[in-house]
Amino acid sequence: MEDVEQVRQGWREKAREVAKNVVAPRAAEIDETGEFAWDLAEAYSKYGFLSLLIPKEYGGMDADITSFCLVTEEIANICASSALLVIVQAVGTMPVVLGGANELKEKVLPRLAKEKGLICFCLTEPEAGSDAASVRTKAILTGDHYVIKGRKCFITNGGVADFYTVFATTQPGKKTEGITGFVIEKGTPGLSIGKTEEKLGIRGSNTTEVILEDVKVPVAQRIGDEGAGWWQMMRTLNRSRPAIGAQAVGLAQGALDYVVRFVQGKGWAKGKEDSLGVQWMLADMAVEIEAARALVYKAANMMDEKMKGTPVQMFSAMSKYFASDVAMKVTTHAVQILQWEGLTKNHPVERMMRDAKVIQIFEGTNQIQRMVVAHTLLKSK
């Protein structure tokens, strides 16, 4: 049997190769046009990056969370929005893997794993972002199907997905206990795409509104029991937040690598690169990236080892917010050192700085992650 570390190393090397040969030549253009990169989706699919967390029996890669983070980090080292495609596919898939009946898994997972299908995760609504328990999208059981009505916003892959993992309330007023997940197929009458967002960063990722107008969804497309949605969402986010942290670490490392090469090659008059001001900035950037990386892989390891009794949700939240705050700080310092060059539109580090800002916001803002950490601390004995 192959050693688990060798398997992880294999994923890292594969991702590094794809990042260098496939992503790097496209990164600037993807950012500039803001268009979805179908060629990257095709390549990721070929290499198994879009079925990382899908079990082998459904044609997936059955990778662990550490490998998921390694793949994300390597791609984000070149382009963070291209790494988000790997993450969102896992986020959309996880509720089905964790809570779906076999019939639903057989309908959805092989299409994602073997037929290049894409999926998205539809939770956020105009009135329910951080307060996710307040979702207003309703799913009413009518005979052998549900009728779903509501409006989702800021949905990654909303305009390109084949499947939509949608969270709705089946018991309005019951908050978390009333939330239920469903999988809706593209083309189902009543499902349509609204506005496509023009974003500051992570521009290569498709982000849209998803409109649900009396969409008829068979009971067989409900994910697990009624009211199990909150549990599925939380378990999904525990697994994906370390990957968002890894995305931030990869991005920050990319910015630091660029700036180190810049300072080395600059030939500034003696004084600037020798000055403690620049050197200490570089040192702080390197230290903070390593600290963030350690936290990310600690959280990933907790998930992989299924460490009972450990507050995985706290470490998962810590890794997401610490790493993305580090990415913001590192890219800001990097632009400072690069001066006018770093402010130039389409400069890779300028792109990284804009992308870092977005990572502080999605998948639960960094304020909300701090609340998760504080609540866990205050609940512990």
Ligand X SMILES: Cc1cc2nc3c(=O)[nH]c(=O)nc-3n(C[C@H](O)[C@H](O)[C@H](O)COP(=O)(O)OP(=O)(O)OC[C@H]3O[C@@H](n4cnc5c(N)ncnc54)[C@H](O)[C@@H]3O)c2cc1C
List residues binding ligand X (CB under 6 A): 88, 120-124, 129-130, 154-156, 199, 202, 207, 358, 361-365, 367-368, 371
Minimal distance, residue 200 CB to ligand X, in Å:
9
Nearest CA to 372 among 302, 327, 322? 322
- Whose Cβ is closer to ligand X: residue 160's or residue 371's? 371
Q: How far apart are CA 334 and CA 281, in angstroms?
A: 9
Q: How far apart are the first and last CA of the chain?
A: 42
- In the structure encoding, which two tokens stand for residue 366, read together? 């960094």
- Whose Cβ is closer to ligand X: residue 248's or residue 282's? 248
Torsion of CA 15, 20, 23, 27, to 10 degrees: 130
Minimal distance, residue 91 CB to ligand X, in Å:
7
Minimal distance, residue 294 CB to ligand X, in Å:
25
- Whose Cβ is closer to ligand X: residue 129's or residue 194's? 129
- Whose Cβ is closer to ligand X: residue 281's or residue 318's? 318
Minimal distance, residue 361 CB to ligand X, in Å:
5
User: Which residues are catalytic, by number?
Assistant: 363
Q: How far apart are CA 227 and CA 210, in angstroms?
A: 22
Q: Which residue is nearest to ligand X (CB)?
A: 129
Question: Using CA of residue 55, residue 61, residue 66, residue 70, what is the dihedral sign?
Answer: negative
- Whose Cβ is closer to ligand X: residue 76's or residue 256's? 76
What's 197's DSSP letter? P
Nearest CA to 138 among 208, 229, 220? 229
Minimal distance, residue 194 CB to ligand X, in Å:
14
Q: How far apart are CA 229 and CA 177, in angstroms?
A: 8
- Contact predicate 292/322, CB 8 Å: yes
